[in-house]
Amino acid sequence: MLNELTLFFKALHFAADKHRDQRRKDVGATPYINHPIELAELLSYEGQVSDINVLIAAVLHDTVEDTKTTQEELEDTFGYEIASIVMEVTDDKSLTNEDRKRLQIENAATCSSQAKLVKLADKICNLRDMSARPPDGWSLERKRKYFDWSRRIVSQLRGINSNLEEIFDKIYAAGP
């Protein structure tokens, strides 16, 4: 069995390979892999989260949704528990964008505590990016709608990590 640190680095390598050709939507086309790394760092440093499964799931959180990675591949490589956390935060891309957004709000409260942490960190990182490096061409109104939608999700995650919730609240209050 791999030790925790080795498994974490294996996840970093896996995610970097899967996201190798992807870029964020900001003007600078930031390498996508920076996003999952930022989630893991936020959880560990600012959120004081030490659960290695949560940190690994943070690194892998977009692999199924945004690459050709399958749930089975994650289970075979990282185990059932990590794959399960990732699947809880993965949108079904066969649905419309509107349905995916609605389901994120509806399902947030019933996620496991581990998935709630990943989801909360994802919203924080996305709002930070929206403020510092917004997607190219997004109007202020569109950014505000994203902030408000994120707040609706986070309202369903309350009670999971006070440090992260406080960070989210400060970013939300500052606005896009």
CA distance 176 to 171: 8
- Per annotation, catalytic residue among 41, 46, 51, 65: 65
State yes or no: is 66 an active-site residue: yes
DSSP 8-state code for residue 45:
I
First to last CA, the chain: 44
Q: How far apart (Å, rounded) are the C-alpha atoms in residues 2 and 10?
A: 10
**Contact indicator for 135, 111 with CB cutoff of 8 Å:** no
Q: Which residue is catalytic, options 26, 51, 66, 91?
A: 66
Q: Catalytic residue positions?
A: 65-66
